[in-house]
Amino acid sequence: AQKVTQAQTEISVVEKEDVTLDCVYETRDTTYYLFWYKQPPSGELVFLIRRNSFDEQNEISGRYSWNFQKSTSSFNFTITASQVVDSAVYFCALSEARNYGQNFVFGPGTRLSVLP
């Protein structure tokens, strides 16, 4: 069975600090996808990144970076020089890739508060 753990329930940082959100997953499949989503206070869900299980390259997008390590089943998300607008709940998710469609499992989310 699939499972996603986000051990950090809430994190508070001061603006301009770097922060890392942890995500640990469990799956028996060898082919799967990992995702990060952002849910700002306004409530909408925003897709941030998708990574497949065969691509362990780290990715950087502006102030955001992701570290995928299959050996530890982790897909951590780092925000560099955090800003108040980064305050949101962040969800990590796992999907097993199947021909007949996908089945998503979300972590419980990490609430990030960036203080001015």
Partner 1 sequence: DSGVTQTPKHLITATGQRVTLRCSPRSGDLSVYWYQQSLDQGLQFLIQYYNGEERAKGNILERFSAQQFPDLHSELNLSSLELGDSALYFCASSQGGHSSYEQYFGPGTRLTVT
Binding site for partner 1 (CB under 8 A): 32-33, 43-47, 50, 52, 91, 93, 95-98, 100-106, 108-109
Look-up: residue for tokens 């299959």?
70
Indicate the residue among 35 and 79 with the shorter CB distance to partner 1: 35
- Torsion, Cα 82 60 46 37, to 10 degrees, reads -90
Smallest gap from residue 88 Cβ to partner 1 (A):
13
Within 10 angstroms of residue 24's Cβ, the number of other Cβ atoms is: 17
Indicate the residue among 71 and 100 with the shorter CB distance to partner 1: 100
Indicate the residue among 22 and 96 with the shorter CB distance to partner 1: 96
Q: How far is CA 49 from CA 9, 19, 33, 90, 101, in A?
A: 21, 17, 10, 12, 19
